[in-house]
Amino acid sequence: MRGKEKILITGGAGFIGSHLADALIKEGHKVNVIDDLSTGSMENVAGLMDNENFSFTHGTIMDELTMEKLAEWADTIYHLAAAVGVKYVLDNPLKSMEVNVKGTEIVLELAARNRKKVLLASTSEVYGKNTSSVFTETADIVLGATKTTRWSYACAKALDEFLGLAYAREKALPVVIVRFFNTVGPRQTGRYGMVIPRFVSNALFDLPIPVHGDGKQTRSFTYVGDVVRGIMGLVNDPKAVGEVFNIGNPEGITIEDLAIKIKKMTGSRSDIVKIPYAQAYGEGFEDMRYRVPDISKIHELTGFAPRISLDEILERVIEFARASMLVGTGKK
């Protein structure tokens, strides 16, 4: 580990960002989070608010003056703030693109000007409609028509990657780019279309568990703690600079099997119902059959491999959801 650092996390009140903040504070670093709380929440960082090494800025990454002060203060920036979630992006297409393109440009520009290291959060969505069953970082990006709003998220994140790499080449910006595959764990909300929290919450309330399409699409899930360990390892490794890494779990499961597993583990009486994509997301929605990463690149550089199995992940998410339900009913 390098010495104690000053670390800025954009989107640090979100799901991944708040777990990252916990881990960095635990290592003795000073952490400043900027978040506009659009999808994140103060509850996620409530446990850190009294820590003298932690500060929170309620604001947007679009505010260049605030960002400039934060970028000057920081040694390293983890840029996680983004409009996230298929449903959120479909409901807020313009805001999503502004934050995901212009917001990232602001972060990169300030980091380059102040000579700060940046970790840029990208996504497995950038592989788009590529039909491979496993993705390596050099795989083609295959996106759909611009009339299909879904692709704007992938396109914006792909542009972020191009921008990050261009800043690295032309302005010597030390940037590390990571493509997160489905990352899951406590604090993730199901409100914006995230599959595991939605399935778990429906199962716990004995509500129908909605499986989109035929349910045979394969996805893989990585525990947030594993992802946080993986990205911290990359940021500490000088050889990661200027590179793009997949981070995820190479073991896949179909969405139908996931629904069956969650139903069983929660002892739920829910029905598992198949919903056509058009009904869930509107006409013309396109989805991928496979979304599983090849993680040999990060493994070879840092030794990273996920440690928490899907069953353990689900146990933790179910426990978290049960505890949140008790809070919601005032029984805790």
Residues that bind ligand NAD (CB under 6 A): 10-11, 13-17, 34-40, 60-62, 80-84, 99, 103, 121, 123, 180, 182-183
Contacts of 295 (CB under 8 A, 6+ apart): 246, 247, 248, 249, 250, 304, 305
What is 97-154 written as a DSSP string?
Answer: HIIIIIIHHHHHHHHHHHT-EEEEEEEGGGGBT---SSB-TTSPPB---TTSTHHHHH
CB distance 59 to 212 below 8 Å: no
Instruction: Report the nearest approach of ligand NAD to the CB of residue 11 (Å).
Output: 3
Instruction: Report the nearest approach of ligand NAD to the CB of residue 294 (Å).
Output: 16
The smaller minimum CB distance to ligand NAD, of residues 8 and 270, is found at: 8
Instruction: Report the nearest approach of ligand NAD to the CB of residue 161 (Å).
Output: 12
CB distance 171 to 302 below 8 Å: no
Residues constituting the chain = 332
Catalytic residues: 153
The smaller minimum CB distance to ligand NAD, of residues 13 and 71, is found at: 13
Terminus-to-terminus CA distance in the chain, angstroms? 39
CA-CA-CA-CA torsion for 235, 186, 289, 204, nearest 10 degrees?
Answer: 180
Instruction: Report the nearest approach of ligand NAD to the CB of residue 203 (Å).
Output: 20
Instruction: Report the nearest approach of ligand NAD to the CB of residue 101 (Å).
Output: 12
The two beta strands, 253-254 and 218-219, are: antiparallel
Give residue 194's identity as a one-letter amino acid code.
M
Alpha carbons 17 and 13: distance in angstroms, whole number: 6
The smaller minimum CB distance to ligand NAD, of residues 174 and 193, is found at: 193
The smaller minimum CB distance to ligand NAD, of residues 96 and 266, is found at: 96
Q: How far is CA 3 from CA 6, 9, 48, in A?
A: 10, 18, 21
The smaller minimum CB distance to ligand NAD, of residues 34 and 272, is found at: 34
